[in-house]
Chain A
Amino acid sequence: MRSRDRWQLPAAALLAAAAAAVWWRADLFTMELLAEVAILAIFTMSLQLLVGVTGMVSLGHAGFLAAGAYTTAAATLFWGWPPAAALVLSVAVAALLAAAAGLFVIRLSGVFFIMITLAVGQMFHAFFFRAQRFGGDNGLAGTPRIDLAALGLDSGAPGTFAAFALICAALVYLLLLLVTRSPFGMMLGAIHQNESRLASLGCPVRRYKLAAFTAAGAVAGVAGALTAQHTGFISPDLAFWTFSGEALIIVILGGSGSLAGAAAGAAVFVLLRDLLSSGSFWSGLSLPPELASHWQLFMGMLFIAVVLAARDGLYGRLAWLIEALHTRRRARR
């Protein structure tokens, strides 16, 4: 684990460079994808703080993203708040709700933690599905994007918004990296490794878990606010448990414990989905293009393969490869 940590920053820098390079040459559609990758990366990195760092496997994390998205939509559409202020409010609301739910859910662990977070996430879904004020199952449309006119920029342009989302993702990455490397983050890692030992040493384990759950919820709120800004349309589907499940798969795909891995996993997921759901990809393989509408079949099989095969995810494999090459070269010398 320690030796791999060395590759954390280089991997993140590589990822950022790749994103910047793509952004430099991207067409309008690719810009939309980039923004989506950035927002999903924020969400999966927040989940990584729970799953990979602290060892709390939540199957209801999408509930907090949805809470952030609906807060931004409500604040801008109903009260006329500027989107930037709505973003701050979204984070506060998501954090508050995560803290309230966290008070209860952190008492459980293992499979029971998975089940109760599932129930909590579904409560968000059921609420938004029925709340007529928020458009019920039709959702809400028309959330404005952040106003960057002061910088002389128009956030309505896909390129500008993609850059904004990418910068947000980078900031979130740095913030979470600081958190995981702080004494607080070290404690979270220790809880992951041996919770009962820590408890017997007198560490208030539950307080740390509650703090982690709240922090992860707050960051998910950022992703929610940006989702509302990006698509301008939100629906209860954002809170549905399958979205939480997809985010968990992405976290595993990226590799356990690595923030950069979670972000890379988000990129791989969005690109794969785009690839598999485009008819030209399948006809390029001289297969019927109708397969594109069944892209979830291949995604599902990939999910299973990822869970079965990649024990430590893409990032882990990559770090292992670099590490192995490194030692071989050293041995030759």
Chain B
Amino acid sequence: MLLDPGFLIVQTLNGLQLAALLFLLSVGLSVVFGLMNFINLAHGTLFMAGAYLALSAVRAFDSFWLALLLAPLGVAVLGGLLYLVLLRHLERADPMRQVLATFGLIFVGVEVVDLVWGSLPHTIAVPPVLAGSSLILGQVYPTYRLFIIALGVLLFALLYAALERTRLGAVVRAGVDDRDMVAALGINIGSVFLLVFCLGCLLAGLAGAVAAPVFSIFPGMDLSVLILALIVVVLGGPGSLKGVAAGSLIIGVVDTYGQVVVPELARLTVYGLMAAILLYKPAGLIPVRGAR
């Protein structure tokens, strides 16, 4: 089975598709972690919100593309409100309080979704343009999944350029490196953080909207995804964009092959990997330069 090239190609593509979704989801989590040493457990909830907002938008406007635009914006606004109302007060708190307050948000999020959209699982139809299958490397593969991979690559390129070439990107990189020094240079790191936080929420919402036609949408869909995103962040190194990309690729491929080749181990390998990285490379595989 493992030596069959068709099997390898399809599973690798599946892995890349998961990696692209994980990348979108984890970028915000990673930058927030790197910039503020803040773990936002409600990040998965924002992913779920993206999926549900996309569902409503598709129902209202009957257009997947409009949903793909509106849902992430909605999640960004939601994230901004969340930050201003609640998370801002926790910035200076110890990690336990941050983790637990955002842990409470997970419960609230699941129930709000249940109240508004009901507890039954939903799906969104794949847009007609991407509904069929394509022939790639001699294998028939769903076009929509190829679209997800392409979107992931595109956003990595965009974010990389933004981080390396723009002023905001430079401030963010400097902030991850040494936050107090950036503040001392007269830059309002608080407002930069709000902006970055909203952008991260936007990307998490985008991940949710993009995942909606592939995953089933239900209250609680955020829990397993959240843990995978945390693993990606830890693996790549908090605050490192390249690290998030590398972490997503590793987890996407390892998890996909793991589920097929050694199903009895399943996620055990992924959690073990996370623990090992934390122990031996606490700054992640691609640490931010100068990170302590």
Chain A residues with CB under 8 Å of chain B are: 51, 57, 59, 104, 107-108, 110-112, 114-116, 118-120, 122-123, 126-127, 129-130, 132, 241-242, 245, 248-249, 252, 294, 296-297, 299-304, 307-308
What is the minimal beta-carbon distance from A42 to any residue of chain B, in angstroms? 21
Q: Is B95 at the interface (CB under 8 A from chain A)?
A: yes
Render B259-286 as a binary contact track against A, CB cut-off 8 A, 1 for contact: 0000111111001101100110010000
A296 to B282: give the CA distance in the assembly, Å. 35
Closest residue of chain A to B112 (Cβ to Cβ) is: A297
Decide if A119 touches B278 in the complex (CB within 8 Å).
yes
Evaluate whether A114 and B95 lie within 8 angstroms (CB atoms) in the complex, with A126-B267, A304-B108, A307-B100 already known: yes
Decide if B105 touches A294 in the complex (CB within 8 Å).
no
| Chain B neighbourhood of A116, CB < 8 A | 274-275, 278-279
Decide if B100 touches A252 in the complex (CB within 8 Å).
yes
What is the minimal beta-carbon distance from B112 to any residue of chain A, in angstroms? 7
A-B contact pairs, 6 of them (CB 8 A): A122-B271, A296-B107, A297-B107, A297-B108, A300-B105, A301-B104
What is the minimal beta-carbon distance from A128 to any residue of chain B, in angstroms? 10
Q: Is B39 at the interface (CB under 8 A from chain A)?
A: yes
Decide if B107 touches A300 in the complex (CB within 8 Å).
yes
Evaluate whether A126 and B107 lie within 8 angstroms (CB atoms) in the complex, with A108-B278, A114-B96, A304-B86 already known: no
Q: Is B110 at the interface (CB under 8 A from chain A)?
A: yes
Decide if A249 touches B104 in the complex (CB within 8 Å).
yes
A169 to B279: give the CA distance in the assembly, Å. 35
Evaluate whether A112 and B268 lie within 8 angstroms (CB atoms) in the complex, with A249-B100, A294-B114, A299-B107 already known: no
| Chain B neighbourhood of A126, CB < 8 A | 266-268, 271
| Chain A neighbourhood of B279, CB < 8 A | 104, 107-108, 116
Identify which of residues 235-292 in chain B touch chain A, using a CB-to-CB cut-off of 8 Å.
Answer: 263-268, 271-272, 274-275, 278-279, 282
Residue of B39, B110, B282 near A108 (CB, 8 A) is B282
List of 10 A-B pairs having minimum Cβ-Cβ separation, nearest first: A300-B107, A303-B104, A297-B111, A300-B108, A304-B104, A111-B95, A126-B267, A307-B101, A126-B268, A57-B96
Q: Is B149 at the interface (CB under 8 A from chain A)?
A: no
| Chain A neighbourhood of B110, CB < 8 A | 296
Render B51-81 as a binary contact track against A, CB cut-off 8 A, 1 for contact: 0000000000000000000000000000000
Closest residue of chain A to B97 (Cβ to Cβ) is: A307
Identify which of residues 162-212 in chain B touch chain A, using a CB-to-CB cut-off of 8 Å.
Answer: none
| Chain A neighbourhood of B99, CB < 8 A | 57, 59, 111, 114, 245, 248
A108 to B280: give the CA distance in the assembly, Å. 10
Known pairs A116-B274, A249-B103 / 12 extra A-B pairs, C-beta < 8 Å: A107-B279, A119-B272, A120-B275, A123-B275, A126-B267, A130-B264, A252-B96, A294-B114, A294-B115, A300-B109, A304-B101, A307-B97
Closest residue of chain A to B114 (Cβ to Cβ) is: A294
| Chain B neighbourhood of A127, CB < 8 A | 268
What is the minimal beta-carbon distance from A307 to any residue of chain B, in angstroms? 4
Decide if B268 touches A130 in the complex (CB within 8 Å).
yes
Decide if A110 touches B278 in the complex (CB within 8 Å).
no
Evaluate whether A114 and B39 lie within 8 angstroms (CB atoms) in the complex, with A126-B266, A249-B100, A294-B111 already known: yes
What is the minimal beta-carbon distance from B189 to any residue of chain A, in angstroms? 19
| Chain A neighbourhood of B223, CB < 8 A | 242
A302 to B100: give the CA distance in the assembly, Å. 11
What is the minimal beta-carbon distance from A93 to any residue of chain B, in angstroms? 18
| Chain A neighbourhood of B282, CB < 8 A | 108, 112
Decide if A130 touches B266 in the complex (CB within 8 Å).
yes
| Chain B neighbourhood of A119, CB < 8 A | 231, 271-272, 274-275, 278
A38 to B264: give the CA distance in the assembly, Å. 35
Decide if B271 touches A110 in the complex (CB within 8 Å).
no
A73 to B110: give the CA distance in the assembly, Å. 32
A190 to B57: give the CA distance in the assembly, Å. 56
What is the minimal beta-carbon distance from A1 to any residue of chain B, in angstroms? 17
Identify which of residues 98-152 in chain B touch chain A, using a CB-to-CB cut-off of 8 Å.
Answer: 99-101, 103-112, 114-115
Decide if B114 touches A303 in the complex (CB within 8 Å).
no
| Chain B neighbourhood of A296, CB < 8 A | 107, 110-111
What is the minimal beta-carbon distance from B40 to any residue of chain A, in angstroms? 12
Decide if B95 touches A122 in the complex (CB within 8 Å).
no
| Chain B neighbourhood of A111, CB < 8 A | 37, 39, 95, 99
| Chain B neighbourhood of A307, CB < 8 A | 97, 100-101, 104
A242 to B37: give the CA distance in the assembly, Å. 21
| Chain B neighbourhood of A122, CB < 8 A | 227, 267, 271
Closest residue of chain A to B272 (Cβ to Cβ) is: A123
What is the minimal beta-carbon distance from B220 to any residue of chain A, in angstroms? 10
A57 to B95: give the CA distance in the assembly, Å. 9
Q: Is B48 at the interface (CB under 8 A from chain A)?
A: no
What is the minimal beta-carbon distance from B156 to any residue of chain A, in angstroms? 24
A120 to B274: give the CA distance in the assembly, Å. 9
Decide if A303 touches B115 in the complex (CB within 8 Å).
no
What is the minimal beta-carbon distance from A256 to any residue of chain B, in angstroms? 10
Decide if B271 touches A123 in the complex (CB within 8 Å).
yes
| Chain B neighbourhood of A132, CB < 8 A | 264
Closest residue of chain A to B93 (Cβ to Cβ) is: A307
A118 to B229: give the CA distance in the assembly, Å. 13
| Chain B neighbourhood of A107, CB < 8 A | 279
